[in-house]
Amino acid sequence: MTTKWFGERVQRVEDDRLLRGRGRFTDDIQEGGDRALESCLVRSPYAHARINSIDVSAARALPGVVAVYVAADLPFGDTDLPILIPHPNLTHGRTQRCLASEVVRYAGEAVAFVVADSRYIAEDAAELVQVDYEPLPVVITPEVAAAAEHLVHDDVPGNVAAEMLQEVGDVGAAMKSAPHRKRLHFRFERGAASPMEARAVWARWSDPEQKLTVYDSTQSPTSIRGGLAVLFGLPESSVEVIAPDVGGGFGPKIMLFYPDELLVPFAAMQLGRPVKWTEDRQEHFLAVNHERGQVHEVEVGFDDAGRVLALSVDFIHDAGAYTPYGIILPIITAAQVPGPYRVPNYRVRFRDVYTNATPTSPYRGAGRPHACFVMERTLDAIASDLGLDRPEVRRRNFIQPDEFPYDLGVAWQDGNTVIYDSGNYPALLEKAMQMLGPRPAGDHIGMGLGAYVEGTGVGPYEGAHVQVLVSGKVVAATGIPSQGQAHATVWAQIVADELGVDVADVEVTSGDTRRFPWGVGTFASRGAVTAGNAMSVAARMVADKAKHIAADHLEADPADLELVGGKVSVKGSPDRGIPLAAVSVLANPVRYAFGGGTEAATQFTSRPRPGPPLQDGEQPGLEATGYYSPPGSTWAAGCHAAYVHIDPKTFRMEVLKYVVVHDCGRVINPLVVEGQIEGGVAQGIGGAFYERLAYDADGQLRNASFMEFLMPYATEVPAIEIDHIETPSPLNPLGIKGAGEAGVIPVGAVIGSAIEEALGVSITEMPLSPLKLYELSRA
Amino acid sequence: MKVNGFVHPAQRDPRRLLSDHLRHDLGLTGTHVGCEHGVCGCCTVLFDGAPVRSCLMLAVQAEGHEVSTVEGLAVLGAPLHPVQQAFHECHGLQCGFCTPGFVMSVVGLLAQHPNPTREQIEEGISGNLCRCTGYASIRRAVQRASELSQQTPSPLRGEGWGKGR
Ligand code: FES
Ligand code: FES
């Protein structure tokens, strides 16, 4: 293979239709003649209440209303939705029902579903649904939940869904003998991913074909398909789920099943007409999973040089009202606190507690921004206690490049323990400090830095199908969808290299179970590692097959052939070759020529070999399906550093310089990776200083709109300087590691560190804001 | 109302938003809806040549006016409009959901300021949210669009989008 496309700044192949306004997002879908009925969910205004009665008669009577469903109308109405990731420590896992009928446990929980001729009418009808609620005491914030004065679930004592304790080494003894000890407290509030496209579902049931077609702005169409097939008792082959263009995901769209994902297909089957539901922005704030609420108690023991000898972290994770996603988030935090540093004795305990707030599941970074904040702020505290330079304390604690594979000894989210596969952490720091350069002149300027590792590319597997058409063009498909990560471009790069064709000749379909029904999803920075390697496996199988077929025709040894320039030819003599298009024709012996050169594969043309046209073990078509299942996670890493100015009067923040050094192994397309990092840092800056989910004591989210939840505009996001180092992963053939989440991870730690220095106040919580800084500097 | 140069029958439902009308009645789904409360800019279209948020207008208010949507910038098969081309070259989009809104805002911006300064660029895109890109590539795209549109004769040069077509 001569590598040509891998590593190049190939411009995206998906742009054209998106730029022309011809993208296809779920709310754009109009298929199959009938205009879809539109729908609306009735949601609880209370954070915790008993439902005494629901009266939908007025809503049903409204002209234009087609159906109104409450739990009792659903065959699955009294089924708890699944716990997606069971875990032995999740002793008190609870999930909601599709529609609540007895108790609601967060503001925004769905209680009724209205289907009408238009969304306008559906919303009118929703207002006519009369629900008699009896408010119950509200548990909000993890601290209140842990105090357990009131319970979110009657049958969950102490509000504790799960508890887990892990220890590596002997923390008690090491702490006791440490020359210095320090206790710290760090608090991280909830955050919201807020993709620009909210969620949407469109479904059609075809009675003649007995087939369900669903468009869903999900990060996992294959799982949705599996779940719908089970729920409706259909063979999976009768359920098609397509994630068309998805307008950003960032985690919460991997959650399944949101109630609408069952209700819309159900209504479409019941009513015999397409039904759609498109979320509005306020619903999105209330009903789409959040993340990040955690409170950490830390004790650290260290020596005179600033080396960490023992670390104990005890934290509470705010699960929200239910635990559909299991305890993956606190497991990740527990695993990722040590980051790129040697922590010889490490104890971590967490409790996952219920609150009357929106449930949680991963949001870009998933447990890591808070883990990184805890570790980096702790190292800053050590530096400050000992009067040491902050970068120097990092240098003294880094795991060294010759220590890989490095076994952390704690549990990882894939069921294995954490084993770092490769990396060069000191190099990241040195490069970042070099890029950051000298401190700008002026007052109230602080420097911040933060290093992190990220376990990426978790299993279980992904697959891909690659086919060379008789035209010589290549089509490829994988089960995982794209939410903007340029999959169509990067998969095409990988396939083009294996097959020796132009990127423009490879057309990729992703996230469409009609084209590729198996797979897991796009999350956890896993797409490039899992689906990327699967693409390479499948394409290499196609290349091998092409060589075997061509070998017969060229009377050459397959081992002497190569795929270059759209041809299979003898290495070193490109003239002795046969176009891939012709190989594709030969791969499928036909009786009837149907154009496209297929006469070459009919029975009266000369055949190069005796025996049946398709011999034992051979399959027709120049195509292959391949899978890649990683043995464990690959560990990406990076270091960010910044200079930040805080106006001492208005407490406005200005990021003067922000640098990123990033290592995601071999980079497939730097353009795409840099875009991921820039977007991640912007999200991190939003989460660190502007965005805050303002819950009041009654469990009401007071700022469920873009008017008050302040996502950064261009004016808030600085230019970012990015550089890469590459330590290839030894775990997968392409040597790649994931890059999707990295940008966001250390931003809170970096901004916190910089502001602490700029203002001379201690920063132990996220998010900050001008008001918060004002309060801190008055305290 | 005239949309992308074509006359369309009036919308009768007085409650219908312009954004819904464009998307679901006229099938122009390139105009996106990200918030429906006037903050994100995904729904930006040109209204008599100036950028407006179609989620904050009723369709009936557009009667007798000219609306330009992203679909009108370059007909299918024709090369991309310079602003679209610049977004492509500069990796100014990821998921593409915010993109039509940005593109229309930038078309409006360049109509006013063919050679925008840094500040004018910042100002011109400061009403559009993007959750994917972190904006750096979009800033570059605006610069590039300005260069490209000097080279390309196009209605973008500003003599009134939507007027006299
Ligand atoms: S949808 Fe109109 S501004 Fe957000
Ligand atoms: S490209 Fe996804 S929101 Fe801008």
What distance in Å separates the CA atoms of residue A203 and residue A626, rounded to the nearest whole number? 30
Count how many residues are written for chain B.
Answer: 165
> How many whole angstroms from its chain centre is CA A614?
43
Mean pLDDT of A646-669: 97
Ligand 1 centroid to B42 CA: how many Å? 5
Asked whether the domain spanning A460-628 has the same topology as the one spanning A364-458+633-778, the reply is yes
CB pair distance less than 8 Å for B130 and A719: no
A620 token code pair: 């027709």
Residues A545-566 have pLDDT tens digits of 999 999 998 999 999 999 999 9
Alpha-carbon distance of A294 to A342, in angstroms, equals 24
Number of Cα atoms under 13 Å in the Cβ half of residue A632: 19
Q: Which architecture characterizes domain A31-136+196-248+254-287 according to CATH?
A: Alpha-Beta Complex (3.90)
pLDDT for res B157: 41
As a whole number, the mean pLDDT across chain A is 96
Pick the CATH number of A364-458+633-778 from 3.20.20.70, 3.50.50.60, 3.40.50.2300, 3.30.365.10: 3.30.365.10
Residue bearing tokens 């925004």: A108
Cα(B42) to ligand 2 centroid in Å equals: 9
Question: What are the sequence ranges of the domains in chain A?
Answer: 31-136+196-248+254-287, 364-458+633-778, 460-628
What does pLDDT average to over chain B? 91
Distances (CA, A) of A663 to A393, A516, A600, A633: 21, 31, 49, 15
Q: What is the pLDDT of residues A675-734, one digit of tens each?
A: 999 999 999 999 999 999 999 999 999 999 999 999 999 999 999 999 999 999 999 999
Residue B106 at interface with chain A, using a CB cutoff of 8 Å: no
Please give the Cα distance from B30 to A507 (Å, whole number): 22
Mean pLDDT of the region A93-119: 98
Interface test with A, best of B29, B93, B131, B139 (most A CBs within 10 A): B131
Q: Mind listing the pLDDT tens digit for each residue in B55-72?
A: 999 999 999 999 999 999
Check whether B165 has a pLDDT greater than 60. no
pLDDT at position A445 is: 98
Q: Does domain A460-628 have CATH number 3.30.365.10?
A: yes
**What count of Cα atoms within 13 Å lies in the side-chain half-sphere of residue A348?**
24
Cα–Cα distance for residue pair A621/A580, rounded to 1 Å: 12
Question: pLDDT tens for residues A224-277?
Answer: 999 999 999 999 999 999 999 999 999 999 999 999 999 999 999 999 999 999
Q: Which phi and psi angles does A579 have, rounded to 5°?
A: -60, 145
A713 contacts B126? CB cut-off 8 A? yes
- Kindly list the residues from chain B whose CB atom is less than 8 angstroms away from the CB atom of residue A705: 35, 37, 39
Fold for B82-157, please state it: DNA polymerase; domain 1 (1.10.150)
Task: Give the model's pLDDT for residue B154.
Answer: 52
Decide if pLDDT at A482 tops 50. yes
B76 touches chain A (CB under 8 A): yes
Highest mean pLDDT among A437-441, A552-556, A616-620: A437-441
Would the CB of B103 count as within 6 Å of ligand 2? Answer: no
Task: Name the band, by pLDDT with cuts 50, 70 and 90, for residue A1.
Answer: very low
Residue from B40, B47, B99 whose mutation best tests the ligand 1 pocket (most atoms within 8 A of CB): B40
pLDDT at A601: 86
Question: In this predicted model, what pLDDT tens digit does every residue of A492-549 receive, in sequence order?
Answer: 999 999 999 999 999 999 999 999 999 999 999 999 999 999 999 999 999 999 999 9
For residue A627, give how far its alpha carbon lies from the nearest alpha carbon of chain B (Å). Answer: 26
Distances (CA, A) of B53 to A334, A372, A408, B101: 45, 39, 52, 9
pLDDT in the model for residue A698:
97
In chain B, the N- to C-terminal Cα span, in Å, equals 14
- Label residue B158 by pLDDT band (50, 70, 90): very low
Give me the sign of the Cα torsion angle A20, A21, A25, A30: negative
Over residues A340-345, the mean pLDDT reads 98
Write the pLDDT tens digit of every residue in A25-40.
999 999 877 899 999 9
- Within a 10 A sphere around the Cβ of A147, how many other Cβ atoms? 13
How far is it, in rounded angstroms, from Cα A144 to Cα A280?
A: 30
What does the block give as tokens for A367? Answer: 């447990």
CB contact under 8 A, A196 and B69: no
Distance of CA A181 to the CA centre of its chain: 37
Q: Which fold has domain B2-69?
A: Ubiquitin-like (UB roll) (3.10.20)
| Ligand nearest to the CA of residue B43, numbered in listed order | 1
Q: Where are the alpha helices (DSSP H) in B6-98?
A: 18-20, 82-89
Ligand 2 nearest-atom number relative to CA B138: 4
DSSP class per residue in B91-158: T--SS-SSHHHHHHHHHHHHHH-SS--HHHHHHHTTT---SSS-SHHHHHHHHHHHHHHHHS--GGGS
Q: Which residue has the tokens 């991921």?
A: A676
Instruction: Find which of B132, B139, B140 to mutate to test the A interface (most A CBs within 10 Å of its CB).
Output: B132
Share of chain A above pLDDT 90, in %: 94
Indicate yes or no: CB of B132 within 8 angstroms of CB of A196. Answer: yes
What is the model's pLDDT at position A779?
Answer: 83
Torsion of CA A122, A125, A127, A129, to 10 degrees: -120
| Residue A437 neighbours by CB under 8 Å, 6+ apart | A657
pLDDT band at B163 (very low <50, low <70, confident <90, very high): very low
| Averaged pLDDT, A405-424 | 94
Band of the pLDDT at A431, cuts 50, 70, 90? very high
Which ligand 1 atom sits closest to the C-alpha of B56?
A: 2
Q: Please determine, for residue B152, whether its predicted confidence score (pLDDT) is greater than 70.
A: no
pLDDT at position B153 over 70 = no
CA nearest to B84 within chain A: A19
Q: Estimate to the nearest angstrom the gap between the alpha carbon of A323 and the chain centroid.
A: 18
> What pLDDT does A10 receive?
96
Annotated domain spans of chain B: 2-69, 82-157
Closest of A581, A440, A41, A14 to residue A275, by C-alpha? A41
**Mean pLDDT on B94-114:** 97
Q: Is the Cβ pair B134, A18 closer than 8 Å?
A: no
